[in-house]
Amino acid sequence: MGANLSKALGKIFGNKEMRLLMLGLDAAGKTTILYKLKLNQSVTTIPTVGFNVETVTYKNVKFNVWDVGGQDKIRPLWRHYYTGTQGLVFVVDSQDRERLDEAKQELHRILSDREMKECLLLVFANKQDLPGAMSPAEVTEKLGLHKMKDRSWYVHPRYVAALDADHDAVRTGGALGRNSRQCYRPVEQTRRVLTLAAVPPVSVARCATTGEGLFEGLQWLSQNVRRQTK
């Protein structure tokens, strides 16, 4: 009864809950991102064996974020977390060119599951500060996102500090799509194009240590989940 009352009050006052599933290959930076969102600080992490779950509230949306380990032996268990997922946060190590095709295969396998047909897709192109990191446009191309004709997706450049060094990186650029519409443009042009494409405007990542890039991803999700629930 308490849960039903909470949902009813949420509808009245505009509060929403959204279940997010954060997946990606091992060492992509998923857990670091999760606790940057939760604590707004970088923390030392170890490889996730199993899962972490945290609640992050942003813009009147309560995000229940499930971070599941990405080791190859754990990936067959991902499907047990699909039910009820409204948004998939897929994290990519932008420097790991050798495994990007593997990441692509895993992403498309996830999205082909019937439980994930309706979920939004947010891709974090992580570790943008590292030498040789792929641009958001390159990540988008190599993941085959242009072929998605019936799904809202957003690729966001994102940097999370390496554990052995401190960085103050600034990164711009981004890639967006809805029903096969996408763009790679400066932020002001992006805002105009997205308005025409009926996707909410989203800013690009700024200072990595502030976590702004992460919360802009949540902004995109929060606006789109409202559209889905209307």
Q: Active-site residue among 71, 86, 219, 228?
A: 71
pLDDT category of residue 130 using cuts at 50, 70 and 90? confident
pLDDT over 50 at 165, yes or no:
no
Angle made by CA atoms 202, 224, 88, in degrees to the nearest 5: 95
Condensed to tens digits (0 to 9), the pLDDT of residues 54-94 reads 999 998 899 999 999 999 999 999 999 999 999 999 999 99
211 Rama sector, left if φ>0, alpha if ψ -120 to 50, beta otherwise: left
Helices 136-143 and 100-112 cross at an angle (nearest 10°) of 60
86 included as an active-site residue: no
User: What distance in Å separates the CA atoms of residue 139 and residue 126, rounded to the nearest whole number?
Assistant: 10
189 Cβ partners below 8 Å, 6+ apart? 183
Comparison of pLDDT for 155 and 82, the residue scoring more: 82
User: What distance in Å separates the CA atoms of residue 131 and residue 95, rounded to the nearest whole number?
Assistant: 7
Q: 10 Å Cβ neighbour count for 194?
A: 22
**Range among 5-9, 77-81, 197-201 with highest mean pLDDT value:** 77-81
Q: Name all domains of the chain by residue range, CATH numbers in brackets.
A: 15-229 (3.40.50.300)
